[in-house]
Chain A
Amino acid sequence: MATPKIISARFDEKKAHTLEGYLALGGYATLKKLFKMKPDEVIDEVKRSGLRGRGGAGFPTGMKWSFIPKNTDKPKYLCVNADEGEPGTFKDRLILERDPHALIEGILICCHAVGIKTAYIYIRGEYDFPLARLGAAVKEAYANGYLGKNIKNSGVDVDVVIHRGAGAYICGDETGLIESLEGKKGQPRPKPPFPAIVGVFDCPTVVNNVETISALPWIMTNGADAYAAIGTEKSKGTMLFSISGMVERPGVYEGAFGVNLWKFIEESTGGVKGGKKLKAVIPGGSSSAILTAEEARNVNLDYESIAATGAMVGSGAIMVFDEDTCVVEALEVVLRFYAHESCGQCPPCREGTYWLYEIVNRIRTGRGRPEDIDLMLAICPDMLGRTVCVLADSAAIPAASYIKKFRSEFEAYIDKANPPERKLHPGGINFEARAL
């Protein structure tokens, strides 16, 4: 069965980003039905669809909404996570640029279901063009009564505020985002209390990813059953996969869960660039464990199957290594990222990411000691589950997996008699040690 296009249906339509274009393609058609439904009915519908969060953690969306207290005097908020910082992820950007009204329609669905009057869209600071498109769409929606007071005579009020980040990966974490939105450094908060109880401005808050919210109009139009019919038992529906690295045609491809991972990559992108051999695949962003070529060929693309390998679906960021890609240097790039992005409040993260990066850097630059490989493996477990957010885990999990699965490549760098030849980009320059 061909994969139905749910999120990407309008990506190739030239005018879908305008209100006129979106309406012409059937946009905002769910609103009539929506406002006749009771909020709880909407939550039930989303629960039955099996929709899970597309920001990284894969948490069931309907269940998340049901944690919001029903009888509270406090205002409730929606924070749409458009921070898109997980390395390898570039799919929310397409939604913002090409289909921003689907996001706004999804926001209306969530707000009606949960009883929210204000939604903040937290967009990463570097997304100039997506911000422009989103800003124009919000303006148009206000001007035409799709946002604001008494939307389309429903008695429902929803305001949308776009809030621009300023360059910090950690603000993608839901409580980092909340802190940042409150005007502080984006340092995540300890949980509990969870945002559903004490979120932004100390009020009950839903935090959802852009893609999660953008799936809602389709679900409301076509019904939960139609959505749940796609995919596997526990991984329902479709997801946008950002595929990059050494493939012929990198890009964003929508796929239904449950297909073979490598087959999906190959059919979407044309396979490894230049007919080279496949070395490894990162299935779900740089925070995920790595899969060997053999694992990638033998695993299905759904939450449970990928998790069974120790990796994750995460944000759907698939990165492909060809035979020439150096795993040691790749880990150095990954660890440099986490060392740079650690917010610094938890010692296991601040120190752990820094030292893992230092050690892999000295290995790669020919200064490694034989015991360094096991030293890294000894540091990793001490970074798991010990910090306020999972950034430390996000560095330790890939580090341990790269080393365990490609240990001989690390050893080769330490074997002074036979230093490895750098095959990748011989004309390139080495990045300097320590310069985070």
Chain B
Amino acid sequence: MSHARHAIAPSGKPFAFSPDNEAKFAQLLPKYPTKRAVILPALWLAQEQEGHITVEAMEYVARRLEQPAVAVFAVVEFYTMFKTEPTGKHHIQLCRTLSCWMRGYQDLQGLIERKLGIGPGEKTPDGKFSFELVECLGSCGTAPMMRMDDRYWENLTVEKLERIVDACNQGRDPAGEDH
């Protein structure tokens, strides 16, 4: 679970599902016998729409599902993948658990800190990268590894990670560096 979140202020921007997400939301409802069960999938839609989840989006989801707002707030606060602030364009989730530790995630963290100048929980001033250390991502056989841009990057070395970061910085598709 996530710890020590601070109170989040409203963004001042109203929220409503896009027509696309409205259609997806309508499909979600009949899949569950309670409305409350739709909180997580609805929050995923909200996060995909805006990149993060605003207070307004939480209140909106609560209203749409006829739940008290606090039920939705509590869920957002509990799950580490729900973000209440915008992440960087490329959000790096570097695994720090046992097998990635044995295979040297520390060196990758070192590269990120040196090259991008950010530590865990931080974002580059240009908004291009944000960085987070996470627990085992179920990819220990190809450690060390990270998740970025909704996919896994496995068997990382400092050199390979540097190529991936460079590609992002130069506006190229980093997938070309995944070898």
Let me know if A330 and B101 touch, CB within 8 A: yes
- Establish whether residues B1 and A170, one from each chain, have CB atoms under 8 Å apart when the complex forms: yes
Cβ of A90 within 8 Å of any chain B Cβ, yes or no, is yes
Q: Does A184 contact B (CB under 8 A)?
A: yes
**Which of B67, B135, B138 sits near A84, CB closer than 8 Å?**
B138
**When the two chains form their complex, are residues B138 and A164 in contact, meaning their CB atoms are under 8 A apart?**
no
Contact yes or no, B135 A87, CB < 8 A: yes
Q: Lowest 9 A-B CB distances belong to which pairs?
A: A428-B106, A166-B79, A167-B81, A167-B80, A244-B140, A183-B39, A183-B36, A87-B136, A244-B99
B143 at the interface (CB under 8 A from A): yes
Nearest Cβ on chain A to B8's Cβ, whole angstroms: 17
Beta-carbon contacts under 8 Å, A325-339 to B: 325, 329-330, 333-334, 336-337
* Among candidates A164, A319, A341, residue contacting B98 with C-beta atoms closer than 8 Å: A319
Select A181's contact among B37, B93, B113, B142, beta carbons within 8 Å: B37
- Beyond A186-B78, A425-B107, A430-B106, 19 additional contacts (C-beta under 8 Å) are A75-B33, A87-B140, A126-B81, A129-B152, A167-B81, A168-B78, A182-B34, A184-B74, A184-B75, A201-B34, A242-B140, A245-B140, A250-B141, A317-B140, A329-B101, A330-B98, A340-B135, A427-B110, A431-B96
Taken residue by residue from 251 to 283, chain A's Cβ proximity to chain B (1 for < 8 Å, 0 otherwise) reads as 110000000000000000000000000000010
A310 at the B interface (CB under 8 A): no
Q: Say whether, besides A184-B75, A321-B102, A126 and B138 are in contact (CB < 8 Å).
A: yes
Q: Which residue of B lies closest to A94 (CB)?
A: B141
Residue A52 is within 8 A (CB to CB) of chain B in the complex: no
Contact with A334, one of B3, B40, B98 (Cβ below 8 angstroms): B98
A319: which of B37, B39, B140 is its contact (CB, 8 Å)? B140
Q: Is B109 an interface residue (CB 8 A)?
A: yes
B154-167: contact bitstring with A at CB < 8 Å (1 yes, 0 no)? 00000000000000
> Which residues from chain B contact A88 at a C-beta distance below 8 Å?
98-99, 136, 140
> Per-position contact with B for A298-342: 1 when CB-CB < 8 Å, else 0?
000000000000000000010101000100011001101100111
The answer to whether B49 has its CB under 8 Å from any CB of chain A is no
> Across the interface, do A89 and B81 meet the contact criterion of CB distance under 8 Å?
no
Asked if A242 and B141 sit within 8 Å, CB to CB, the answer is: yes
Contact A166:B99 (CB < 8 A) given known A183-B36, A184-B75: no
Chain A positions within 8 Å of B174 at CB level: none
Taken together as a complex, chains A and B put the C-alpha atoms of A430 and B105 apart, in Å, by 11
Query: Is B13 on the interface with A (CB-CB < 8 A)?
Result: no
Q: How far is the CA of A126 from the CA of B95 in the complex (A)?
A: 12
A126, A166, A286, A342: which contacts B43 (Cβ < 8 A)? A166
Residue-wise, chain B 42-80 has the 8 Å CB interface mask toward A (1 for contact) of: 011000000000000000000000010001001100111
Residues of B within 8 A of A166 (CB): 40, 43-44, 79-82
Residues of A within 8 A of B74 (CB): 184-185
How many A residues face the partner with a CB closer than 8 A? 68
Q: How far is the CA of A292 from the CA of B57 in the complex (A)?
A: 52
Across-interface contacts of B84 in A (CB, < 8 A): none
Chain A residue nearest to B79 in the complex (CB): A166
Are A168's CB and B79's CB within 8 A? yes
A residues 139-180 with Cβ under 8 Å of B? 159, 161, 163-170, 180
Report which A residues bind B (CB closer than 8 A): 75, 84-90, 92-93, 124-129, 159, 161, 163-170, 180-186, 201, 242-246, 250-252, 282, 286, 317, 319, 321, 325, 329-330, 333-334, 336-337, 340-344, 424-425, 427-431, 435-436
Min CB–CB distance B130 → chain A (angstroms): 15
Query: Contact between B140 and A250 (Cβ–Cβ < 8 Å)?
Result: yes
Measured between alpha carbons, how far is A75 from B32 in the docked complex, in Å? 12
Interchain CA distance A325-B104 in the complex, whole Å: 11
25 contacts between A and B (CB under 8 A): A85-B135, A85-B138, A87-B135, A90-B138, A93-B139, A126-B81, A126-B93, A126-B147, A166-B40, A167-B82, A168-B1, A168-B80, A184-B36, A185-B1, A201-B37, A244-B102, A250-B143, A286-B98, A317-B140, A319-B140, A333-B101, A336-B96, A340-B135, A425-B107, A428-B104
Partner of A85, one of B40, B107, B136: B136
